[in-house]
């Protein structure tokens, strides 16, 4: 791999020169694309330079072994050579990972949809628990979270809640949360103490910019209506709620959280754009890999990915066979163990494929 260093350095130099041109500086979309390319290329150059330096040190150690007679010096040289060879092997593995082409979605913010599935009120309460779990994690990561839409049940749960999350590496960290989350516990309303199993679905959609996907106004049917649901001064008093139907796909988005009809329409368009973008990306992924599913899952919302067992204080991720007995910590946003393990697993799969 080291022999490729001059070529990569030339690419990086040419990229830096192009980034400083007025043509690129005045085109924000092109600038972002080239900066993403640079953020992929620069670490490769840095790692290859490190490997080159280690290789030169290994050659020096081998020469020393040939010319040295002192037993103590020979022993030290052998130890140093062994350490350098281990260091080079580690650097080679890291470089192989860096050489994997970056996912163009990696830097995206997300829209997350959490919905109650089987289990009635208990499922709705678990939606609230999982929403709080992600809220705590977002706070820890210093991400910004905004509620787009919420359909409350009146007992502290949600039939569904839609939020946008923005910040550094949001999609890269949260992409593997898509799927079915199952909970096993005794509901507060259960007098017999029986454990119930309920399920909710989580969808993580990369948030699309207007330049990412084009929506034709002629393809939209927009209805306004009075907001429904519990509480709120403007509920059922003004036509502020907005329902947008995308006629070609049949996707329907309803937004009613804001008092302003315009604000609701803008939020609904963000959700619609994200759903259409996800559909396009799923289509591309299917074409690339014929719907091949890696061990960390495809992000399919029907796939059961994790079980939260309250009586045993246990959380299990079924895709990577990882179990934690810190359920309370996980529900309070301590998700690092799972998110890092899923990232590593996905990286290993990508490396095998590459």
3-state secondary structure of 169: coil
Domain 2-98 maps to which CATH number in 1.10.150, 1.20.58, 1.10.730, 1.10.287? 1.20.58
Contacts of 129 by beta carbon, 8 Å cutoff, 6+ apart: 183, 331
2-98 and 110-211+292-353: identical CATH topology? no
Class of domain 217-285: alpha beta
Report the C-alpha gap between 41 and 98 in whole angstroms: 8
Residue 184 is predicted with a pLDDT of 93
DSSP tally for the chain: helices H, then strands E: 9, 11
pLDDT of residue 79: 86
Q: What is the pLDDT along the chain (354 residues), one digit of tens a residue?
A: 788 888 888 899 999 999 889 898 888 888 888 888 888 889 989 999 999 999 998 888 888 788 777 788 888 888 888 898 998 888 887 787 777 777 777 778 999 999 999 888 899 999 999 999 999 999 999 999 999 888 898 888 999 999 999 998 899 889 999 999 999 998 876 666 788 899 999 999 888 776 677 888 888 898 888 776 554 444 445 678 889 899 988 888 888 878 888 888 888 888 888 888 888 877 766 654 543 344 344 444 567 899 999 999 999 999 999 999 999 999 999 999 999 888 878 877 776 665
Per-domain residue ranges of the chain: 2-98, 110-211+292-353, 217-285
* Bridge partner list, 152: 158
**Pairing of β 220-225 and β 251-255:** unpaired
Residues 31, 19: Cα–Cα separation, whole Å: 7
Domain 110-211+292-353 has CATH 3.30.70.1660: yes
Strands (DSSP E) contained in 68-132 are 110-116
In the block, residue with structure tokens 């036509």: 239
Model pTM? 0.67
Q: Three-state DSSP class for 195?
A: coil
Chain center to CA of 214: 23
pLDDT at 229: 57
Closest CA to 198 of 115, 90, 110, 95: 115
């Amino acid at each position: 791999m080291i022999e490729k260093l001059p070529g990569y350095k030339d690419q990086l130099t040419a990229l830096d020169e192009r980034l400083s041109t007025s043509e690129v500086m005045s085109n924000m979309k092109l600038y972002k694309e080239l900066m993403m390319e640079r953020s992929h290329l620069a670490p490769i150059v840095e790692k290859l330079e490190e490997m080159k330096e280690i290789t030169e040190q290994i050659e020096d150690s081998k020469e020393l072994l040939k010319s040295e007679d002192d037993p103590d010096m020979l022993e030290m040289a052998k130890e140093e050579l062994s350490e350098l060879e281990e260091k080079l092997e580690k650097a080679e593995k890291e470089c192989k990972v860096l050489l994997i082409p970056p996912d163009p979605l990696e830097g995206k913010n997300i829209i997350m949809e959490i919905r109650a599935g089987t289990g009635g009120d208990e499922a709705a309460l678990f939606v609230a628990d999982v929403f709080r779990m992600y809220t705590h994690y977002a706070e820890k990561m210093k991400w910004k979270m905004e509620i787009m839409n919420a359909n409350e049940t009146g007992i502290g749960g949600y039939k569904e809640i839609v939020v946008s999350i923005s910040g550094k590496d949001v999609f890269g960290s949260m992409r593997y949360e898509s799927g079915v989350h199952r909970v096993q516990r005794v509901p507060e309303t259960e007098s017999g103490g029986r454990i119930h199993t309920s399920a909710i679905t989580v969808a993580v959609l990369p948030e699309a910019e207007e330049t990412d996907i084009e929506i034709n106004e002629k393809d939209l049917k927009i209805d306004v209506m009075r907001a429904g649901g519990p509480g709120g001064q403007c509920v059922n008093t003004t036509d502020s709620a907005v329902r947008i139907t995308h006629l070609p796909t049949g996707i329907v988005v309803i937004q009613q959280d804001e008092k302003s009809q315009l604000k609701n329409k803008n939020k609904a368009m963000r959700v619609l754009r994200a759903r259409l973008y996800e559909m396009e990306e799923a289509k591309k992924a299917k074409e690339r890999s014929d719907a091949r599913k890696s061990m960390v899952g495809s992000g399919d919302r029907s796939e059961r990915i994790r079980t939260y067992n309250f009586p045993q204080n246990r959380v299990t991720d079924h895709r990577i066979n990882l179990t934690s007995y810190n359920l309370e910590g996980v529900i309070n946003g301590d998700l690092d163990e799972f998110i890092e393990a899923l990232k590593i697993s996905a990286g290993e799969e990508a490396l095998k494929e590459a």
